[in-house]
Amino acid sequence: MKTTLLFFITALAEIIGCYLPYLWLRKQGSAWLLLPAALSLMLFVWLLSLHPTASGRVYAAYGGVYVVCALLWLWQVDAVPPSRWDLLGGGLCLLGMLVIMLAPRTT
């Protein structure tokens, strides 16, 4: 549970770090948006370093959580409700993340 929460917080930091430059470039936002964007991306990198397993496995599993967070962002920030196909795809990604993270391992 702790690792899953860390995945979601990591994804949120990455999404914010990418969304703010988007606002600046595409929506004529202030260039000052780049400062919190850079800080958010630095937080994202630091948070990735806190994950308790091999980096390749973390990045693979994190991708599934990122997809779900991006769909939540689409719904809550962009005010676009996800379609049933979005929900199915997000669910499959989350299932893939669980398989990667919870599979039995030999040491």
* Residue that has been written with the tokens 């948006």 in this structure: 33
What's this model's pTM, rounded to 2 decimal places? 0.80
Tens of pLDDT, residues 17-30: 999 999 999 999 99
Cα dihedral sign, 70-72-78-84? positive
H, E, C per residue of 37-67: HHHHHHHHHHHHHCCCCCHHHHHHHHHHHHH
**39-57, pLDDT tens digit by residue?**
999 999 999 888 777 677 8
Whether the per-residue pLDDT at 100 is higher than 70: the answer is yes
Q: What is the mean pLDDT of residues 61-82?
A: 92
pLDDT (average), residues 62-66:
88
CB 29 within 8 A of CB 81: no
